[in-house]
């Protein structure tokens, strides 16, 4: 064995790590490359056999067709995701505050029961849920979808806020109590003003999951309330062979743009949201 | 008035909502599963759980269970290993770390429905002379022997179906492990080095044992996602028999076969599988939290 100095060995290792990470990053970006180049090909040029080559002539035909086809779905998705995530965040904040700082007997049991709701397969409630929403005359409407998302979002939103509020010193809450502040004033004057980061995490998390939802939408939606995921699946999913490839790829990108933009601009918060979702991250 | 009462009142709307929409509907679903309502008009009739037994003699069900298990094994194992490995390579800091993290994590922001569009294309099984997608790329790279029929392989197809899921979720696992690695105090590692541990021994005896809770969290999260997988398969394969899984089966029973009792029975099995995985974990973590 030849003697290699520790410094050189360290440098070689670092280069090796960088090369591996770069290779994996390229593999991760590969589907995006195919999506982007295909979406800009003309209708006749876009084909699986030329997936890896750049467009011979850049064209926006696919994007125009995708935009026309998906416009109503994009509008529905915005309505659902924005309203749903705002209500979710408010509920999560109030619940998180009580379950961490204004606890009642049995609060832990309630919290555990909430958390289980985060993991259930929604199929296990979908059949009666559709029946319930029908009776409430909400099935197939945007409000029905928002209601479902808000209710099943309670666990994760409560969890994010609770984990965040635990870090507020109990002395602060105690001091407010001694000064005669009731629960709502304590929330308003002490807890709410420092809640910014937790609101950001929750809003981003909920916006992303509501935007990307497919299951609730197919079980509870109707053509007029279908979000973009359902419309995308109808025009570019496994059953849609008649639609041009460039339009399919442009549609997939168009449907992903809002969450990707949110992620790129606010990725730091997104990351924290992900870690909060892991309970003990 | 006890001081805690307003707190309980403030949370009560959520308690009612979760009570009704989670536990109430689970109860209701179980009731449908135990009934003979194999169409949408017949009245409720208790049939002693026959559906839970009969399901196993239906042609598509045992395959759906096998598919879900194969998918889960490959997806959970693959995402854990890849995520761990990426975090391991990055944990001591690396150039362009922010960029790498963004690239590994972005698939999580995309829906399976959208990414399924391109993965269905990439995993096209066309034979070598007119190979497309990944097979074509493999041919070009001189790795033609690795070309295969991906998810359309009747035996191992579900393993290929796990590839897009690994792509989607391993960045998340990486983020979990990276936080875990960095949560190990530097003085602990330094103390071990002073005691004469090699760098490998520091990992083996100091760092890796501290990552066990992270592995457990990741296992639970990936496991429950995997058992519930629906969007990805709908986007790539639709309702085909070779990629049939319980979550798809519920959908088919409800919408195509109009058989609520069967749909509810499958959903109950799915719920039981998730509950076995998640309940001990929840009890454990809420208890650990209190300490």
Q: Identify the band that residue A272 occupies on the pLDDT scale cut at 50, 70 and 90.
A: low
Q: Identify the band that residue A60 occupies on the pLDDT scale cut at 50, 70 and 90.
A: confident
Q: Identify the band that residue A281 occupies on the pLDDT scale cut at 50, 70 and 90.
A: very low
Question: What is the rounded CA–CA span in Å between residue A111 and residue B251?
Answer: 31
Res A49: pLDDT = 75
> How many Cα atoms are found within 13 Å in the side-chain-facing hemisphere of B10?
25
Res A278: pLDDT = 53
ipTM of the complex: 0.87
Q: Which segment of A8-12, A60-64, B50-54, B203-207 scores lowest on mean pLDDT?
A: A8-12
Across the range A68-84, mean pLDDT stands at 95
Give percent of chain A with pLDDT exceeding 90.
51
- pLDDT of residue A280 exceeding 50, the answer is no
Strand partners of residue B46? B35
- pLDDT of residue B142 exceeding 90, the answer is no
- pLDDT of residue B44 exceeding 80, the answer is no
Q: Identify the band that residue B289 occupies on the pLDDT scale cut at 50, 70 and 90.
A: low
- pLDDT of residue A277 exceeding 60, the answer is no
Q: Identify the band that residue B140 occupies on the pLDDT scale cut at 50, 70 and 90.
A: confident
User: Within the 49-78 window of chain A, which residues sit less than 8 Å (CB to CB) from chain B?
Assistant: 49, 51-52
| B40 token code pair | 């949408």
Res A225: pLDDT = 92
- pLDDT of residue B150 exceeding 50, the answer is yes
Question: What is the rounded CA–CA span in Å between residue B270 and residue B254?
Answer: 15
B100 contacts in chain A (CB < 8 Å): 21, 25
- pLDDT of residue A276 exceeding 70, the answer is no
Question: What is the rounded CA–CA span in Å between residue B81 and residue A46?
Answer: 36
Question: What is the rounded CA–CA span in Å between residue B148 and residue B153?
Answer: 8
Res A28: pLDDT = 94
CB contact under 8 Å between A239 and B238, yes or no, is yes
Res A206: pLDDT = 93
What domains appear along chain B, each with residue ranges and CATH number? 1-60+244-291 (no CATH), 63-243 (1.10.3720.10)
Query: Across chain B, which distance is largest between two alpha carbons, in Å?
Result: 80
Helix (H, G, I), strand (E, B) or coil at B46: strand
Dihedral sign (CA A159, A163, A168, A174): positive
Res A256: pLDDT = 94
Across the range A192-215, mean pLDDT stands at 91
Partner-chain residue, chosen from B13, B101, B217, that has the shortest CB–CB distance to A280:
B217
Find the length of chain B: 291
Cα dist from B196 to A86, A183, B20, B111, whole Å: 55, 55, 59, 49
Q: What's the mean per-residue pLDDT of chain A?
A: 87
Give the model confidence (pLDDT) of A209-247 as tens digits.
999 999 999 989 999 999 999 999 888 766 666 668 888
- pLDDT of residue A178 exceeding 90, the answer is no
Neighbours of A168 (CB within 10 A): 16
Mean pLDDT: which of A49-53, A75-79, A198-202, B204-208 is highest? A75-79
- pLDDT of residue B68 exceeding 80, the answer is yes
Partner-chain residue, chosen from A152, A212, A278, that has the shortest CB–CB distance to B221:
A278
Would an 8 Å CB–CB cutoff place B23 in contact with chain A? Answer: yes
Q: Identify the band that residue B48 occupies on the pLDDT scale cut at 50, 70 and 90.
A: confident
- pLDDT of residue A71 exceeding 90, the answer is yes
Q: Which segment of A196-205, A267-276, B34-43 scores lowest on mean pLDDT?
A: A267-276
- pLDDT of residue A195 exceeding 70, the answer is yes
> What's the angle, vertex CA A27, arms to CA A22 and CA A29, rounded to 5?
95
Question: What is the rounded CA–CA span in Å between residue A269 and residue A274?
Answer: 9
B22 contacts in chain A (CB < 8 Å): 116-117, 120, 125, 152
Res B177: pLDDT = 92
Would an 8 Å CB–CB cutoff place B251 in contact with chain A? Answer: yes
Rounded to the nearest 5°, which phi and psi values hold at B35? -105, 170
Partner-chain residue, chosen from A21, A158, A229, that has the shortest CB–CB distance to B94:
A21
Q: What's the mean per-residue pLDDT of chain B?
A: 88
B251 contacts in chain A (CB < 8 Å): 123, 218-219
Find the length of chain A: 281
- pLDDT of residue B81 exceeding 90, the answer is yes
Across the range B265-277, mean pLDDT stands at 92
Task: Name B4's Cβ contacts closer than 8 Å, sequence gap at least 6.
Answer: A102, A103, A104, A105
Across the range A65-82, mean pLDDT stands at 94
CB contact under 8 Å between A252 and B268, yes or no, is no
Task: Name A81's Cβ contacts closer than 8 Å, sequence gap at least 6.
Answer: A206, A207, A210, A211, A258
- pLDDT of residue A267 exceeding 60, the answer is yes
Res B138: pLDDT = 82
Give the model confidence (pLDDT) of B103-139 as tens digits.
998 999 899 999 998 898 888 887 766 777 788 888 8
- pLDDT of residue A1 exceeding 50, the answer is no
What domains appear along chain A, each with residue ranges and CATH number? 67-277 (1.10.3720.10)
B15 contacts in chain A (CB < 8 Å): 110
Res B153: pLDDT = 81
| B237 token code pair | 């394969």
Give the model confidence (pLDDT) of B223-241 as tens digits.
988 988 898 998 888 888 8
Would an 8 Å CB–CB cutoff place A26 in contact with chain B? Answer: no
């Amino acid at each position: 064995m030849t003697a290699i100095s520790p410094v050189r060995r360290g440098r070689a290792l670092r280069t090796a790590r960088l090369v591996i990470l770069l290779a994996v990053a390229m593999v991760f970006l590969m589907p995006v490359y195919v999506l982007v180049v295909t979406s800009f090909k003309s209708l006749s040029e876009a084909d699986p056999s030329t997936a890896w080559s750049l467009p011979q002539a850049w064209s926006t035909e696919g994007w125009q067709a995708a935009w026309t086809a998906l416009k109503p779905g994009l509008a529905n998705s915005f309505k659902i995701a924005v309203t749903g995530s705002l209500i979710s965040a408010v509920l999560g904040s109030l619940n998180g505050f009580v379950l961490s700082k204004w606890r009642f007997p049995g609060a832990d049991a309630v919290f555990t029961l909430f958390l289980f709701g985060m993991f259930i397969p929604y199929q296990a409630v979908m059949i009666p849920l559709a029946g319930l929403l029908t009776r409430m005359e909400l099935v197939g409407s945007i409000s029905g979808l928002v209601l479902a998302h808000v209710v099943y979002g309670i666990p994760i939103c409560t969890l994010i806020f609770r984990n965040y509020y635990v870090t507020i010193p109990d002395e602060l809450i105690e001091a407010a109590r001694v000064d005669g502040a009731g629960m709502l004033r304590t929330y308003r004057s002490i807890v709410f003003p420092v809640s910014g980061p937790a609101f950001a995490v929750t809003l981003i998390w909920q916006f992303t999951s509501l935007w990307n939802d497919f299951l609730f939408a197919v079980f509870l939606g109707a053509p007029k309330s279908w979000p973009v995921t359902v419309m995308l699946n109808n025009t570019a999913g496994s059953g849609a062979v008649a639609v041009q490839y460039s339009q399919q790829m442009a549609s997939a990108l168009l449907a992903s743009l809002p969450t990707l933009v949110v992620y790129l601009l606010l990725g730091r918060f997104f990351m924290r949201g992900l870690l909060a979702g892991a309970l003990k991250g | 008035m006890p001081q805690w009462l307003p707190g309980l009142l403030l949370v009560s709307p959520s308690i009612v909502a979760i009570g009704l929409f989670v536990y109430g509907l689970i109860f209701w679903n179980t009731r449908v599963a135990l009934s003979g309502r194999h169409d949408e008009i017949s009245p409720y009739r208790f049939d002693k759980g026959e559906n839970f037994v009969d399901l196993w003699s239906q042609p598509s069900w045992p395959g759906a269970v096998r598919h879900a298990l194969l998918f889960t094994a490959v997806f959970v194992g693959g995402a854990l290993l890849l995520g761990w490995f990426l975090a391991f390579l990055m944990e001591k800091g690396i150039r362009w770390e922010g960029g790498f993290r963004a690239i590994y994590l972005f698939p999580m922001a995309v829906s399976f429905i959208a990414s399924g569009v391109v993965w269905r294309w990439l995993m096209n099984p066309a034979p070598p002379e007119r190979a497309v997608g990944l097979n074509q790329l493999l041919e070009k790279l001189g790795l033609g022997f690795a070309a295969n029929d991906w998810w359309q392989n009747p035996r191992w197809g579900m393993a290929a179906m796990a590839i897009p899921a690994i792509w989607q979720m391993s960045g998340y696992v990486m983020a979990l492990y990276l936080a875990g690695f960095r949560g190990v105090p530097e003085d602990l590692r330094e103390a071990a080095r002073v005691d004469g541990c090699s760098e490998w021994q520091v990992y083996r005896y100091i760092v890796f044992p501290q990552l066990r809770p992270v592995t457990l969290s990741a296992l639970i999260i990936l496991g429950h996602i995997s058992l519930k997988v629906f969007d990805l398969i709908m986007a790539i394969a639709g309702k085909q028999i070779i990629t049939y899984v319980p979550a798809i089966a519920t959908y088919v029973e409800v919408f195509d076969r109009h058989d609520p009792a069967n749909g509810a029975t499958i959903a109950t099995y799915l719920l039981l599988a998730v509950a076995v995985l998640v309940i001990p974990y929840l009890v454990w973590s809420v208890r650990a939290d209190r300490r």
